[in-house]
Amino acid sequence: MSFGVCLNNVREKSPLIHNITNYVTVNDVANVLLACGGSPIMADEPDDAVEITQICNGLNINIGTLNSRTITSMFKAGLKASELGHVLLLDPVGAGASALRTNTAIRLMKEIKFDVIRGNASEIKTLALGSGTTHGVDADKADSVSDKNLSFMIDFVKNFAKSSNSIIALTGAIDLVSDSSKCYVIRNGRPEMGKITGTGCQLSGMMTAFIAANLDNKLESAAASVALMGLAGELAFKDGLGNSSYRNNIIDEIYNMTGEKLDKGAKYEIF
């Protein structure tokens, strides 16, 4: 099945995705979910979150701006979604930057089976190694995937996918999406995307919708959403564009993406 078919399935099935996510980028997450063909809903009061997640197809847990109330919701809704066999994604924003974030992410991984964990290199390393040196919510340069350390990093994500029993999506200049046996190496996107807040959060929302609409092809559909985000970033770019217009243009390009365009523009290899 091609990436384009994965996208077409999202548009056709319009999965409803429950997002327990940070308030910094939540509006963009909602609009990106709508742009790709999904449908967003947000609820973060414990009782409400448990009930809302039951009418959804997937749950996207993003720990940016977590608090004690929303952490309770993450666990309660996460367990309920897991019980119902819904798609579950963890975005460990800032894992490694504080004990609360690191420990919450690690506890979530222990108690809930996530279909996929998506983060930058620092966050993923923190979760894999149990410690980290994170520069805020952005990845340390030392951690990033490059052609020099590519085969090392591919092994690293495959191993972490195996030990965590989740698909690992480590995104950055080069994106890696892997289960224990295969790894997609995706080279879409532009460095200027790092100057927009929340492209990672947006991708997490979208990836949850992709997997929910492609349950028999989880790895491929996760990779398809990564390629879509990056390709939209390429198509949306123009010289001299500021980061606010760039943000808007990327969402517009996702809205206007077709399966055919995605298949043509996606740049990836499988290892």
Q: Please identify, using beta-carbon distances, which residue of 35 and 117 lies nearer to a copy of itself.
A: 35
Q: Please identify, using beta-carbon distances, which residue of 35 and 177 lies nearer to a copy of itself.
A: 35
- Tokens at residue 165, please? 């029993």
Cβ at position 48, least distance to a copy of itself in Å = 4
Site for a copy of itself in 175-214 (CB under 8 A): 195-198
Binding of residue 47 to a copy of itself (CB under 8 A) = yes
Alpha carbon distances (Å) from 223 to 82, 196, 215: 22, 21, 13
Helices 26-36 and 3-13: crossing angle in degrees, nearest 10, is 100
CB burial readout 220-249, b (16+ within 10 A) else e: bbbbbbbbbbbbbbebbbeeeeeeeebbeb
Report whether 134 contacts 145 (CB < 8 A). Answer: no
**Scanning the structure block, which residue is given the tokens 């448990």?**
50
Instruction: Residue 268: name the closest of 83, 3, 24, 1 by CA.
Output: 3
Q: Please identify, using beta-carbon distances, which residue of 154 and 229 lies nearer to a copy of itself.
A: 229
Site for a copy of itself in 115-144 (CB under 8 A): 134-138
Mark residues 6-35: x for contact with a copy of itself by CB under 8 A, - for none: ----------x-----xxxxxxx-xx--xx
Determine the Cα angle at 219 with ends 139 and 161, to 5°: 55
Site for a copy of itself in 61-120 (CB under 8 A): 64-69, 94, 97-101
Number of residues engaging a copy of itself in binding (CB under 8 A): 62
Q: Please identify, using beta-carbon distances, which residue of 178 and 199 lies nearer to a copy of itself.
A: 199
Binding of residue 148 to a copy of itself (CB under 8 A) = no
Cβ at position 18, least distance to a copy of itself in Å = 9
How does strand 87-91 pair with strand 58-62? parallel
Interface residue list for a copy of itself (CB under 8 A):
16, 22-28, 30-31, 34-35, 39-45, 47-48, 51-52, 55-56, 64-69, 94, 97-101, 134-138, 195-198, 240-245, 247-256
